[in-house]
Amino acid sequence: MERVVGVDIGCTKMYLYAQVNGEHVEQKVSTGLDCPREQLKHDIDTFLEGLPFVPEGLGMAVPGLVEGDSRVKLSDISSLTGITTDYFGGGRFPVRFINDVKAATVAETVNYTDKDTIAVIMAGSGIALGVYSKERMFKGAHGFAGELGYCVTSTENGPKTLDSLAGGIGILMQAGCGIEEFLERISSKDSGTEKLLTEAGFHFGLALTNVIHLFNPDVIVIGGSTATYPGYMEQALETAQKHTLPDMFNHCLIAPAKDNKRIVALGAMEYMRSGMQL
């Protein structure tokens, strides 16, 4: 199966990807938590119509809980909740859904074939975890394992989720501005913004410590735009090293995603192409 298209539906944007004669064909469109499913379908169909082939399959990575590979049980993008693959495929080609961080994990397994246990953390609008160990994805009882961003920690202002403390949307809410203004503050080295990112990195570092202690991975791959903010990962790694058992920390490679821009879409494509069962 060669003519496969990958779709990464995120909480702020959707990324669509295909390869044509070895060349990248890609597009980004805006989404949002209240993006209607009709708009998502329209943007996907428009992208597909511009390709010089009819897809043999469509791999779709979505934020939220996926039942099997054909239904979204719950998503941060409300219009996706309850949707099935038939809505997007319509009998034209097969479609498979996969949770977005599990898609990223599928993509990275190709890069670490010699490792026993691979953990992938996507730090974007929210934070989620995928773990692939002994050639199997860790799914939990109902396939929903990995919602790292919903883990709760105690703060001086009461219990808070990791998403609210260190996820992209949570950071913007703390900053009290939109993404464009936030990026301008970063560029101008605003002291308040730098402090906020350091604090967010601290909480993300504690999450790294917990992942290492719980799963003992050979490697943790970190992707997502939030992890690229200045100071965020530096503080996270310093915090993780300080609070993790030395033998476990020293035997765990912490590395950036090989292709941070495409990681989720590539994983969705591989999931569709390979017929992999999670």
**pLDDT tens profile 11-50:** 889 999 999 988 999 999 999 999 999 999 999 999 999 9
Quote the mean pLDDT of the chain: 95
Q: Which residues contact 53 (CB under 8 A, 6 or more apart)?
A: 3, 20
Give the pLDDT confidence score for residue 239 in this predicted structure.
98
More reliable by pLDDT, 114 or 1: 114
Mean pLDDT, range 86-100, rounded to an integer: 95
Task: Note the pLDDT of residue 69.
Answer: 94
Percent of the chain with pLDDT over 90: 90
Question: What pLDDT sits at residue 209?
Answer: 98
Q: Is the pLDDT of residue 2 over 90?
A: no
Mean pLDDT in residue range 165-187: 96
Residues 6+ apart with CB under 8 A from 275: none
Instruction: Note the pLDDT of residue 57.
Output: 96
Measured from the Cβ of residue 221, the count of other Cβ atoms closer than 10 Å reads: 26
Tens digits of per-residue pLDDT, 108-154? Answer: 998 999 999 999 999 998 999 999 999 899 988 888 899 999 999 99
Q: Is the pLDDT of residue 217 over 90?
A: yes
Torsion of CA 175, 127, 97, 106, to 10 degrees: 140
Q: Judge whether residue 79 has pLDDT over 80.
A: yes
